[in-house]
Amino acid sequence: MSVHTTLLGTEGPLITFCHGLFGQGRNWTGIARTLVDKGFRCLLVDLPNHGRSSWTDHLSHAEMASGVATAVIDSGLAPTVLVGHSLGGKVAMRLALDHPELVAKLCVVDMSPVPYDGMSQFAQYIAGMRAIDLATLDNRAVADALLEDAVPDPTIRGFLLQNLRHDTSPGGRGWYWQANLDLIDTELDRLADWEPIDAVFEGPVLWMAGATSDYIRPDHDQPMKTLFPQTRRVKVKRAGHWVHSEQPEVFAEILAQFASV
């Protein structure tokens, strides 16, 4: 698979970022620029079947982790401090377990190594996105209006619409979705699950939770500590699931301190 990456910064240790479902590496740009100013290099990764990375026939945490591992190796800057949010958190955890030699430290943002329910909401989002007739679409504003019934929250809708691209080159494809909606829809339950693995990552782990989020719960402590015995949990006040976008300055400072130790 071909994994698209963007490298920011020219010196210092490497921090690699994995985004969540329907995200892209560029979602981390603001955080990365702050960290570059603090002396780090930052690798922003588009996970397989997202952004400008290639589409595949299967979608699992292990397969995505393999793609990110290749990107880290190709950077020539391993081992890396590895950061993953939401789905990207599961990918990052799996990568650390499969390839510990590539990961100096791990930061897992508002995600746990457990199965999650509630994927029907994402299925509704995908149905709304696929229902838009891209062949007759006039502009992004029309797409936003067409998506409103399936995705009432304007913030979430705006996030999803970042996947809508317009190819205006001669003979180009016109409007298209960058994310592989068909495959993601098929694999939603698999992505929400956590596949048991007989491995332990012995390196330092920062487990960052949003104070108002329920993605990290007390009953998740044991599964996390079993796989990652050197886990330190930090709760960020006035933040929900999107910790890095709701409290970017706090997030960047905590991550910089963790990466520097």
**Same domain assignment for residues 242 and 209:** yes
The verdict on 111 and 232 lying in the same domain is yes
Cα–Cα distance list, 160 to 4, 146, 150, 155 (Å) = 19, 13, 11, 9
Residue/partner pairs of 52-55 with CB below 8 Å, 24 or more apart:
52/4, 52/24, 52/178, 53/1, 53/2, 53/3, 53/4, 54/1, 54/2, 54/3, 55/180, 55/183
- At 11 the pLDDT is 96
Mean pLDDT of 86-94: 98
Task: Tell me whether residue 120 is one of the annotated catalytic residues.
Answer: no
- Residue 118, pLDDT > 80, answer no
Q: Which pLDDT score is estimated for 1? A: 75
Query: Around Cβ 234, how many Cβ atoms within 10 Å?
Result: 15
pLDDT in tens, 212-224: 999 999 999 999 9
Q: Is the CB of residue 93 less than 8 Å from the CB of residue 113?
A: yes
| Domain total in the chain | 2
Report how far residue 72's alpha carbon sits from residue 78's, in angstroms, rounded to the nearest whole number: 6
Is 241 marked active-site? yes
Q: What's the pTM?
A: 0.96
How does pLDDT run across 251-261, given as a tens digit for each residue? 999 999 999 97
Residues 49 and 176 in one domain: no
Q: Which of 158, 186, 214 is the last residue of a domain?
A: 186
> Which candidate in 53, 60, 66, 86 is catalytic?
86
Active site residue 153: no
Q: Do 10 and 112 fall into the same domain? A: yes
Task: State which residues form the domain around 167.
Answer: 120-186
Catalytic residue, from 182, 189, 214, 260: name it: 182
